[in-house]
């Protein structure tokens, strides 16, 4: 699954979420309006004909140092091990990959980068990618197709790079057997090269969204002779417009221009600032206030974590222009274990009882950072359909305990026990649990809310054999790429229980086959079918949608080119420049 770089909210604190993922568009901060922004649907997905250089950002200029603040420290800069969104966004300055996303009119569009978008064989078990020639590393040496193949093989050393994405382990041929080049050598059936410009990926099963997956940093080339294994994270070799200058792990990173990056070969990146200066560990509100005040060098800064609600009242007048609004690729839900709550009428009663408005208020949701959800697929996923909401599945409302009690009574289930874990050391988590418990008690349920310590919560909600039937993890999900295949199969097939990614805990072989049939289709053919499956599954009340996430972060008054990268819910660093 994709992983977010920070714990989002107390209600979801134990969830190992996502992403690096996908989503849709962001508003342009230069609009001068501090409206909260609406999540909009993505219309296009790919452009195989995109070429470098990337179109210039209107008003852009070169020079200066752009400062980037965050409280949370990125976990690693080893491209093979990157899966959190902050490292992923920063990595786009450093690492070129076979494919990449361009942000056009706020929407992410898949385009060629080091290679084309690939050609799949008739049996869908082999993909061929043609690589650009003449691209260089920061040291001036040429990037070779063998380096790209080696980097892919390196990702199978999952004992060393345990945090990186792992789709290749199940999708690539012999991926379940190969343990990487350090253990099993360079011979691997899943990857081959041909001549000087051809990469071949052989699959164990069809994977129509492989070109989207190739945007991840693990697919940046690494020369075998320069692989320093666990030390590579301290000085990775750059192919993008910037390279490491000075790095203090956990504290700071300065990037300098890469003199061997060629803009004419790159359809998405720019090289506007002379340097980027990342500073981590500062207290969230204080660093955001510094950026909002924009005194001295802080006018040249961005703080990439979501704006704290306490600062929202300051977003008036000119300060409204300092908010980058956009989208984030995540949806939060209330999970129901259908193995234990087998009666759909009981699940409908649970939905009817939920006081979504009160829960959202306690959770700190606001119009800048969230939007009520009524589907599993977020609007940013192509093919998202905003169908007529099912009753009580809109993420809004005060709840209807009396209506829920009538459903339980009619079903002969009055007094049905519902149970969940919550963090008993966090006030917000306690408050949310109490609000939900009170509403469901009034609805005629017997409630068993189990408080546990923060250190134990993640293990508890991830234990699918635990003695609870509500709110197990994942309590939310973020796209790994912008198609339904990074949602529906991952959460709703029977295998999701074994893989720890289940929403609803379904064990439905007929649904499994239906999902598998759609997954085999080419991406464009599958688009509308994922939305249809979303609606079909939603009607079973197996997981109750709560809210979609949005991006709202602050930039200094001298920062231009400020749009959001909805693939990771972060500001899009590649377009930023200093106005003066």
Mean pLDDT, the chain cut into blocks of 10 residues (580 residues total) = 38 31 30 52 76 97 98 93 93 98 89 98 97 97 98 96 89 96 97 98 94 97 97 98 96 98 98 98 95 98 92 96 89 97 98 97 89 92 85 96 98 98 93 98 98 90 96 91 89 90 96 93 89 96 95 97 91 97
- CATH of region 327-550: 3.10.105.10
Instruction: Please report, for the chain, the start and end positions of each structural domain, with discontinuous segments joined by +.
Output: 327-550
> How far apart are the C-alpha atoms of 223 and 136, rounded to whole Å?
12
Q: What is the pLDDT of residue 464?
A: 96
pTM for this one? 0.83
Burial readout 65-74 (b: 16 or more C-beta within 10 A, e: otherwise): bbbbbbbbbb
Q: How far is CA 215 from CA 107, 195, 439, in A?
A: 16, 23, 44
CB 522, CB 207: distance < 8 Å:
no
Q: Distance between terminal CA atoms of the chain?
A: 41
**Tell me, what's the pLDDT at 41?**
53
**Three-state secondary-structure class, residue 444:** coil
Count of Cβ atoms closer than 10 Å to residue 457 Cβ: 22
Q: Is 57 left (phi over 0), alpha (psi -120 to 50) or beta?
A: beta
- pLDDT in the model for residue 37: 60
Question: pLDDT by residue (tens digit) across 361-407?
Answer: 999 888 898 999 999 999 878 778 888 889 999 999 999 999 999 99
CA pseudo-torsion sign 158, 161, 162, 168: negative
Are residues 470 and 420 in contact, defined by beta-carbon separation less than 8 angstroms?
yes
Q: What CA–CA distance (Å, rounded) separates 440 from 418?
A: 9
CA distance 68 to 64: 13
Q: Which of 509, 502, 510 is nearest to 469 (CA)?
A: 502
pLDDT at 25: 25
CB 371 within 8 A of CB 39: yes
Query: How much is the pLDDT for 118?
Result: 98
- Give the contacts of 43 (CB within 8 A, at least 6 positions apart): 107, 382
Angle at 103 between CA 99 and CA 108, to 5 degrees: 65
The reported pLDDT for the residue numbered 84 is 86
- pLDDT score at 548: 93
Do residues 157 and 169 lie in contact, with contact meaning Cβ atoms separated by under 8 Å?
Answer: no
What whole-number distance in Å separates Cα of residue 246 and Cα of residue 256?
9
| Encoded tokens for 60 | 């852009």
Residue 578 bridge partners (DSSP): 559
Q: What is the DSSP string of 200-230?
A: EEEBSS--TTHHHHTTSGGGS---GGG--GG
Select from 213, 227, 226 the least CA-distant residue to 180.
227
CA distance 306 to 71: 11
């Amino acid at each position: 699954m994709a992983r977010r770089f920070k714990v989002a909210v107390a209600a979801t604190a134990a969830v190992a979420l996502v992403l690096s993922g996908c989503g849709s568009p962001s508003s342009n901060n230069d609009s001068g309006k501090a409206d909260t922004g609406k999540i909009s649907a993505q219309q296009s997905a790919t452009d195989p004909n995109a070429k470098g250089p990337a179109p210039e950002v209107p008003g852009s200029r070169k020079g200066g140092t752009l400062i980037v603040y965050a409280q949370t420290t990125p976990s690693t800069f080893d491209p093979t091990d990157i899966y959190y969104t902050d490292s992923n966004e920063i990595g786009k300055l450093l690492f070129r990959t076979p494919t990449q996303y361009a942000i056009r009119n706020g929407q992410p569009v898949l385009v060629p980068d080091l290679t084309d978008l690939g050609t799949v064989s008739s049996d869908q078990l082999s993909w061929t990618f043609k690589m650009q020639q003449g691209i260089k590393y920061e040291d001036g040496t040429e990037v070779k197709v063998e380096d790209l193949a080696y980097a892919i093989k390196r990702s199978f050393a999952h004992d060393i790079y345990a945090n990186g994405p792992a789709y290749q382990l199940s999708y690539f041929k012999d991926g379940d057997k190969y343990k990487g080049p350090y253990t099993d050598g360079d011979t691997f059936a899943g990857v081959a090269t041909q001549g000087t410009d051809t990469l071949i990926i052989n699959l164990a099963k069809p994977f129509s969204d492989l070109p989207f997956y190739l945007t991840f940093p693990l697919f940046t080339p690494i020369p075998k002779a320069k692989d320093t294994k666990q030390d590579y994270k301290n000085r990775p070799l750059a192919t993008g417009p910037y390279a490491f200058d000075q790095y203090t792990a956990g504290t700071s990173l300065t990037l300098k221009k890469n003199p061997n990056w060629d803009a004419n070969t790159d359809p998405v990146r720019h090289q506007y600032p002379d340097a980027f200066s990342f500073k981590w560990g500062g207290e969230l509100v204080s660093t955001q206030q510094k950026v909002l005040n924009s005194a001295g060098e802080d006018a040249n800064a961005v703080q990439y974590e979501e704006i704290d609600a306490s600062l929202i009242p300051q977003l008036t007048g000119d300060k409204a222009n300092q908010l980058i609004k956009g989208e984030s690729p995540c949806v939060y839900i209330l999970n129901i274990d259908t193995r234990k709550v087998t009666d759909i009428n009981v699940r409908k009663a649970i939905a009817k009882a939920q006081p979504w408005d009160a829960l959202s208020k306690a959770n700190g949701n606001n119009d800048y950072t969230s939007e009520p959800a009524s589907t599993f697929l977020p609007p940013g996923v192509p093919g998202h359909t905003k169908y007529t909401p099912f009753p009580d599945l809109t993420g809004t409302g005060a709840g209807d305990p009396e209506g829920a009690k009538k459903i339980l009574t009619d079903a002969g289930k009055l007094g049905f026990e519902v149970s969940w874990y919550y963090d008993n050391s966090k006030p917000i988590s306690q408050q949310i649990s109490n609000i939900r418990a009170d509403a469901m008690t009034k609805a005629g349920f017997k409630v068993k809310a189990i408080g546990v310590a923060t250190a134990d919560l993640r293990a508890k909600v991830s234990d699918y054999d635990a003695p609870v039937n509500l709110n197990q993890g994942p309590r939310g999900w973020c796209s790994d790429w912008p198609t339904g295949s990074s949602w529906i199969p991952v959460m709703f097939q029977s295998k999701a229980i074994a893989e720890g990614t289940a929403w609803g805990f379904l064990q439905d072989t007929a649904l499994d086959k239906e999902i598998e049939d759609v997954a085999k289709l080419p991406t464009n053919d599958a688009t509308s079918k994922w939305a249809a499956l979303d609606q079909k599954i939603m009607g079973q009340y197996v997981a109750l949608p709560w809210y979609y996430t949005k991006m709202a972060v602050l930039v200094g008054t001298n920062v231009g080119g400020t749009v959001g990268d909805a693939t990771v819910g972060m500001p899009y660093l590649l377009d930023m420049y200093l106005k003066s």
